[in-house]
Amino acid sequence: MRALAEVGLAAWPLGLALVAALIGDRLVQARRRAALNRALHELRRPLQTLALAPAGGAPAPSAAHLALAALDDLDHEINGSPRSLIRRPVACRALVESAVERWRAPAANARRSLELRWRAGAAVALVDPRRVAQALDNLIANAIEHGGLRVRVEVTVGASRVRITVSNAALRALEDVRRDVRHGHGLRVVASVAAAHGGRFGVQRPAGAWVAIFELPLAPTPITAAEAGQGVADLAA
């Protein structure tokens, strides 16, 4: 009996090592699955805008670039390749308006109104326009897909940041979205874009509504309108 007990004690390290290896493998597989789901999610958004473009009309020129940005993310998750982030001064109004226009048709098809309130003057942000467009698409798409009948995008400006809020009433509880492995990736994408730019992202739920707040740094020095517009023009190049 004593000999059997000694054998049992000696086997504990091996057993623990096997359990640790099994848990580690499952964690790796879960991370890979989550990464693939995030990339697929981001590929789906620009393809939706292409599919829902009005007949005879040209799709938004940035749709292909958004798909390429999502492929960059997939490459990063699978191969560890660096994520591209090319910041330049960009006219905020052109960037936000183009995102709103991309989602007019999907909003109409979902019987939602989509309103833009601009209160930021000629604000210019120092951002990668592809990444910001990626974040804006996610915020607007979430509000259309999960919310009530009215979606509002409002832009204001402070001393050092531009604030973009996307709001809607009766949005599905974020907890319900997070529990579904197919959803919840969009908010994480927005958070990562904000962090990469030194900005901020948060969600508030005042009185049953849903308000996403996305802040980005303003360009540090005054620039010409032509220079600011180049950032958006680069998306169509």
Residue 147: the pLDDT is 73
The pLDDT, as a whole number, for residue 235 is 46
Q: Say if pTM beats, i.e. exceeds, 0.85.
A: no
**Token couple for 100:** 């709103």
What total number of domains does the chain contain?
Answer: 1
Q: 90 and 125 in contact (C-beta within 8 Å)?
A: yes
Share the mean pLDDT of the chain: 75
Q: What is the pLDDT of residues 167-210, one digit of tens each?
A: 987 555 444 445 544 456 788 889 999 999 999 999 888 777 78
Q: How confident is the model at residue 236 (pLDDT cuts 50, 70, 90)?
A: very low
Q: Are strands 113-119 and 200-204 parallel, antiparallel or unpaired?
A: unpaired
Question: Is residue 224 over pLDDT 60?
Answer: no
- Whether residue 119 is predicted with pLDDT greater than 90 in this model: the reply is yes
pLDDT at residue 98 above 80?
Answer: yes
CATH number, position 146: 3.30.565.10
Q: Phi and psi for 120 in degrees, rounded to 5?
A: -120, 10
Cβ contact 177:146 at 8 Å: yes
Instruction: State which amino acid sits at residue 180.
Output: D
d(CA 82, CA 119): 36
Convert the pLDDT of each residue in 49-63 to its tens digit. Answer: 654 555 444 333 356
Residues of the domain holding 179: 1-237
Residue 190, burial from CB neighbour count under 10 angstroms (0-12, 13-18, 19+): buried
Q: How far apart are CA 218 and CA 120, in angstroms?
A: 11
Whole-number pLDDT of residue 165: 96
